Structure 1
């Protein structure tokens, strides 16, 4: 069992260094293991800011300098690669288009799929590197026959395998996650960084969406898509209020509805459906959010595709809990049934299937079936 593509020789490793503590320690561990490591910082913004705002945002000039200083301390070569155009097209524009279509995307999955383990990996392989190393908390297991599996990190509290569920066999064959094999807390990672003399040891983590530095997703979308007033209605179609753009809502949302009229039972109401065609947001009680089944498209497998129906656990959000499901491929789409109803499931989200700690694969939710009438 190993976390590198091969054990027989030192590898040429390209370490993606964001300027944060996790990627710096990952690069240091790879170098300490005897690999020939080169650090690279991805310039993903066409207009990087000089300084980040607290723990928000990334890919700033400050982050690039922090990554360079870490590489100097580790003693590895360092470069900055400009992937801003590719990132804008594959991640930012996709994010905006998905919200405009009434769906809820996860840009971190798209970035891993399209940037770190596609654009970056392709360039790395073309330059003769064997693997791309990142600071993700996940584990790669190599079986006796040489095939590789993606598993949850040893420290389940830090596990990031959900956002890596888009990796296919080829990408997994060249992935290295040095932080995933050890049960360490973030405090221990910071202490290790300090012992190694890395100045990022106390740098705050980046939160929320990296290209929305102020954390105001609704404001970002409004600037991109413009305001478009529409109706907020109940399940019977009664008009309860208005909004300034259906793209500013997501299924399961409770706060920010700005409905003046209380529900007849006095209980909170939640977003149940978003119709971009009519620019209408439908709200209702929590019980109407119960989902019993879903259909997901564009499946990606971390290994061979399942040959028939199977029982798995599924994760629906980056920090969500697992739930038991049965799933099978039907005409190229993933049909999933939940053992117990779940809530807050939105089209556009990713569903990641697990067999124990092993990541089986992922797909993008296209439609849901509710315990009550209607499908999202």
Structure 2
């Protein structure tokens, strides 16, 4: 397989896609306030990037407690569902499928973002370290602060959360999404249950790896009862080594990450879902995902494998050519280049990213990046 395969068609579940490039989840914090409501500006943003064969939304919190950053969108209120319908309609006009990423941050939050200013919830009473959350300080202004120490969920509350994931999937279908991705990566709630670094429970949801996988398994089963497995994915962020301690939260580095994550992938294989997405470490000097792990996931998981994180054509060719991935996501380069697939295919120059405009704000740094040799498409 050559890099040109990136631009050829592929099937994802029961969907036929025109190319193997996908837009991965990218937090941009542009929702309307109050209410964390998706809006027409966001619809423009997603519609601009429909040269991808497949799009996945930014993380959208399944309930108010699921928020860890100001101005991220939810998918639990009627107003939010209506807002997302603007986006799915805009993407469908370009004849592309789009999935909603269902998100709960768990302990990666602050009491000022929580209902009633209560502590965030998590598997155990252990604060996240090496990460900040973004809290509002006024209209359009905010600041980064450390997350609060969470309180541990009771078993009935865990069961309620499983039901909330299923309800969020129903809401996604009502908003016109073609399917859903469950966010089980980047140190957020499902990842916290999975990780020996965040889950110190002594009941059925903690201790052994099988118990730590229980919440993931129950969420996948509950969402599968709402959305066909052919229209489902799950995202993980395995981390195999780190030289920067503050980055551990991204993948919650396990003592045996290959064992932990191959077991997690087996849960998805047994459920028959359409894809597993691997979010690879993407900071400067980040460790590479071992090829042995890629091969192990390929042996376990029979459906599509999606990869994202610091990819260019050479890296895409490496994993596609070895059969370790079926689709490649491009994040920051897609932010700054709304016509990225065409630029990659034709070797056109890439527009640099304005990192200062990544989070919050309006159209600047969001929908005003240029298309190559043509006017901005609205």
**TM-score, with normalisation over the residues of structure 1?**
0.29
Higher helix share: 2
Kindly name which structure, 1 or 2, has the bigger radius of gyration based on alpha carbons.
Answer: 1
Higher strand share: 1
